[in-house]
Structure 1
């Protein structure tokens, strides 16, 4: 079942900040920090699971099990990237039903052609807006729990311009989407125009090194946004830390003086070892 706390946060006009998670370590670390929502990033999940580009290679089967594992392993509500819904209308219905059964509280669907490309990268093309509106209608009909949120994303800004992206956002809102996601606006002025034009909760995608300026949460709220996701923050930080640690090991031949780390004791606690040890103590045979 979807966590009703997320829908309630939007209803209360509470600005929602959601870090990107991509595996169970990132999910558990983020879960303990008091966020209102966690965002399962397609880029990071595909990269950590398959080690390939987020370019439509991962399938529904690849993603739903990973998404479900993360959603079940945390207490915080989760919104998960589901690309294009992995096909046509029937695929969208199947995807929504599967993601909802997996335990997420919201699903993100986008209007790209298949195979999709990662947002903020070149070459993205979109399907007709009316075709995407049908996908949104199917998604709304397919969900079982009204607390399960439908996020509709359009990638039209980069190839077709801001005006078309806004038109699509409005159309997807009319089709029943709960949250509208205009991907990769290129200035604060464009973000303000989006906020003024669309009367639905808006999602801002804050990608380090991407096409959209990264703004503070307070500023995003002022511009009319209700939520910000940071899909890349976790895997970029993890990759940098790994590169530093591995490079030290290669150069020095040991793991001393690699700088501050999470700590083995903290990691055992994060992964639930104390509970395992307590169980073994209670059931140990003399």
Structure 2
């Protein structure tokens, strides 16, 4: 597949990316979190970027996949990057940092992935999972730690010293104990990750005391995934001391419901 950018635009030169990465990393402040309304196409990116409160754009792989008619597991690297390219254009237009959801780093293609999101998209951060997408199994902890280091080594080689890794710790999601996700998360932070995203089991309530335990256990360097309209708000998460808040595919899911409702009106569907 052809590169998503034949030549790097001026805004993605090494020096400008380095400065953008530093400013992006500085937005991750425990108690005053960076708020990310994850986008999935040009329209959603433009809507979010136009809001004065928006400080960065972030993709969500589940939503990127669904918008192309495939599952998250089926989303190829080329599909992912091609879908993020117009979002990256919006980020450049608004002078906003961009962080890309690269799932598990596409196995042994990790270095290629990081090079491409930086050089083709001008991204200054990634979301990196510690469970294998293809099998659904947890990575060996040492392997996951080393993969965080490998991402940062590629970024440094491209002159982006403050590249932001949001390291997803999936042990709790996969049926393990919360403490296991916290333990792994500490090692990811030691390896250079900026924040750790502890993915909550979808069937488990996000009890404030448990969220606080995760935040405190990782020194506030945490990305909390909000469940919009249910439970904790971004203000609550700020009060609890987290450094980052995201919503994953929820904007996409909300848009789907809005389209469904409008279509029912067209066809006079009465429920």
The interval holding the TM-score normalised by the smaller chain is: 0.7 to 0.9
Alignment of 1:197 with 2:225, yes or no, is no
Deviation at 1:38, TM superposition (A): 2.2
Distance 2:98 2:238 in 1: 21
| Mapping 1:1-286, distance limit 5 Å | 1=12, 2=17, 3=20, 4-10=22-28, 14-34=32-52, 35-49=54-68, 51-54=69-72, 56-74=73-91, 75=94, 76-88=96-108, 91-101=109-119, 102-115=121-134, 124-143=136-155, 144=158, 145-158=160-173, 159-184=175-200, 186-199=206-219, 201-208=221-228, 214-251=231-268
TM-score in terms of structure 2 length:
0.81
Using the TM superposition, name which of 35-44 and 213-222 deviates more: 213-222
Unpaired runs of 5+ in structure 2? 1-11
In the alignment, the residues of structure 2 paired with residue 107 and residue 20 of structure 1 have an alpha-carbon distance, to the nearest angstrom, of 13
CA deviations 1:138-191 (Å, max 9, x no partner) are: 001010312321111111013211111111000111111111111116422221
Q: Given that residues 173 and 200 in structure 1 are in contact (C-alpha distance below 8 angstroms), is that contact kept between their aligned partners in structure 2?
A: no
Higher RCO structure, 1 or 2 (CA under 8 Å, sep 6+): 2
Cα shift readout 1:48-93 (whole Å, capped 9, x = no counterpart)? 02x1222x211111111222321122323222211000003xx111
Shift of 1:104: 1.8
Instruction: Kindly state the Cα deviation for residue 10 of structure 1 after the two structures are TM-superposed.
Output: 2.3
Alignment gaps of 5+ in structure 1:
117-123, 253-286
TM-score if structure 1 supplies the norm length?
A: 0.77
Number of residue pairs aligned between Structure 1 and Structure 2: 238
Q: Aligned equivalents of 2:30 and 2:228: distance in 1?
A: 29
**Cα drift, residue 98 of structure 1:** 0.9
Paired with 2:176 and 2:250, the residues of 1 have a C-alpha distance of 28
- Report deviation, 1:200: 5.6
Distance, in Å, in 2 between the alignment partners of 1:72 and 1:147 is 21
- Residue 43 of structure 1 deviates from its aligned partner by 1.0
